[in-house]
Chains A and B, each alone.
Chain A
Amino acid sequence: MIKSLKIYLPFTTNELKSRLAYKGAFYVFILISLFGSFISYYLWMAVYGSTDRQMLGGLSQKEMVVYVFMAYVSSFIAISISDWVSEDVVKGTVAMNLIKPMDYRLSLIFRAAGVMVYRFLAPSVFIWIGIEIYKVTVLGLAPVTASRVLLYLLSCAMSFLIYVLFDFCFGMIAFFTTYIFGLMMVQEALMKFLTGQLIPISFFPEAAQKVFDFLPFSSMVYTPVMIYMGKYSGEMLVFALLRQAVWVAILYGLGSLIWKKVTKRLVVLGG
């Protein structure tokens, strides 16, 4: 355990270092992704202003403000590793990874963890503090409890694993077609939708929600945010966390299986 940490931890720290070195492009990314949150914010304000109902999709107007920005904060776990996989496959550098005595997927996960730490520090944690202050002072909602913060972070950690393990499986498509860009766009758009980042899952029709219960996506963003907002308690909370753990296990197994299959048929040209 300690030994493998020694092998893989440099992937995390290197990624973190290189991110810290090239900050410019990242701030732009932050700004643009915040645009989306502000559009959502204003849109939801108008939506709540257009109806007499207090609750929409189980959320009050004030809770929706918290939801919109906490969904943004929670997206720090959404690190796309399929880019790296497809790049390695297309360039053929994946062969280099195969001859090294280490697990390719694990090295990717540790790299992704470096990006995640960076994105948590900039900007997620600041927006989190901001929305928490706004929530208590302006919206007049109760501040979050320490235990709920811990549960939220635990849930986020599992979300991260679900996300990268799923994305690894997705990246395997690169072994079959070199043009994965279009598919990545589809995946990205679909994920935003199904993870609850764009709209709370509770807004979907009942039937769709039932289907989503059997998919890993809602565990990625919706679950941690709901936990943070205190919407889950007791048995439901345990069930939500357990479901996340089960998805980690399933996607880990699935990834290993696909990896075994595709590396058997891998052909790398040149050297």
Chain B
Amino acid sequence: MKWKRYLRLYRVMVTQFIKSIMQSKVDFFMGLLGFFFNQILGIAFLYLVFEQIPSLKGWTLDQLIFIYGFAQIPRGIDHLFTDNIWLIAWRQVRNGDFDRYMLRPMNLFFQVVSEKLQPDALGELLVGILLVARSMAKGIVITDVPHGVLFILSVFAGAVIYTSVKLFFAALAFWIKISGPFLQVAYEMADFAKYPTEIYAKGIRFLITWVVPFAFVAYLPASYFLKSTVSPGVIGIEWGIAVVFWGIAYWVFDRGTHVYESAGN
């Protein structure tokens, strides 16, 4: 019963949102173009680098492009559905906007994320899917059934890791009012994981694998689809991390909503 109500509400919210996009199609396409173009230049950079070398620490250009594209899919999914979390970090707690969620008899996290879809994310998703499709056409990824299933599972877990990192740092705002800067630093660390982590110094490698675990969203699971020697256990660990980080993030968020006090006068 309860689930049905949530689903119905989400559908209503999404429909409203799509209507608002349709009103300003130009804006929508410009945003899409912006994100799309950004990704394309990332690939162009790799091309230029590989003009000079045949492979990077044993990775070919095609493999790096797959890692790059693969990393965009969970990122895009999270970006599409939970972009509103940023607002908690930057202003909803500080100026008291969070009040209105507290007044409604619905799950708070659900209310926050259902309020907005971010269409710009489609640019990331599009690039991700195109690059993965390209890699499949080139035959450099393993395409049997178990890998296909784990691909979907991995993308899902990756999106959860993204959401968890965002929620955790955004929830800090309940104590410090504005946590946007911290969230931004954490979020941008995902850029490190676009390349094989073995190029980094030990400290950075540890940081992006276990502290802000973006390596498990991008490079590590991607290597499973590229190399038959990599154990599927890596997706298992990704799931473990997703569950643990989500648990921590949601717990902190929940604690935070209890200490939240409005900004009224």
Q: Which residues does A use to contact B, with CB under 8 Å?
A: 24-25, 27-28, 31-32, 35-36, 38-39, 42-43, 45-47, 49-51, 53, 56-57, 177, 179-186, 189-190, 192-193, 198-199, 203-205
10 other A-B residue contacts (CB within 8 Å) besides A42-B201, A181-B30, A182-B29:
A27-B181, A36-B191, A43-B199, A46-B56, A50-B54, A57-B52, A181-B31, A182-B34, A193-B44, A203-B52
Tell me the bound Cα distance from A182 to B53 in angstroms.
34
Contacts of A38 in B (CB 8 A): 204
B189 A35 Cβ-Cβ under 8 A: yes
Contacts of A203 in B (CB 8 A): 48-49, 51-52
Q: How many residue pairs, one in A and one in B, have C-beta atoms under 8 Å apart?
A: 99
Nearest 5 A/B pairs, CB to CB? A182-B30, A185-B34, A182-B34, A28-B181, A46-B199
Tell me the bound Cα distance from A6 to B165 in angstroms.
50
B37 A186 Cβ-Cβ under 8 A: yes
Q: A35-B192, A43-B195 are contacts. A182–B38 as well, Cβ < 8 Å?
A: no
Which residue in A32, A46, A57, A185 is a CB contact (below 8 Å) of B184?
A32
Contacts of A180 in B (CB 8 A): 30
Asked whether B32 is an interface residue with its Cβ less than 8 Å from the other chain, the reply is yes
| Minimum distance in angstroms from B67 CB to a CB of chain A | 13
Q: Write the chain B residue with the least CB distance to A203.
A: B48
Q: Write the chain B residue with the least CB distance to A31.
A: B185
Asked whether B103 is an interface residue with its Cβ less than 8 Å from the other chain, the reply is no
Between-chain CB contacts (< 8 Å), 14 pairs: A28-B181, A28-B185, A32-B184, A35-B192, A50-B57, A179-B26, A181-B34, A182-B29, A185-B37, A189-B37, A193-B41, A193-B44, A193-B45, A205-B51
Tell me the bound Cα distance from A131 to B37 in angstroms.
32
B201 A198 Cβ-Cβ under 8 A: no
B34 A186 Cβ-Cβ under 8 A: yes
| Minimum distance in angstroms from A182 CB to a CB of chain B | 3
Which residue in A42, A47, A177, A183 is a CB contact (below 8 Å) of B49?
A47
Chain B, 7-56, CB within 8 A of any chain A CB = 24, 26-27, 29-35, 37-38, 41, 44-45, 48-49, 51-56
Which residue in A28, A32, A50, A204 is a CB contact (below 8 Å) of B53?
A50
Contacts of B57 in A (CB 8 A): 46, 49-50
B24 A185 Cβ-Cβ under 8 A: no
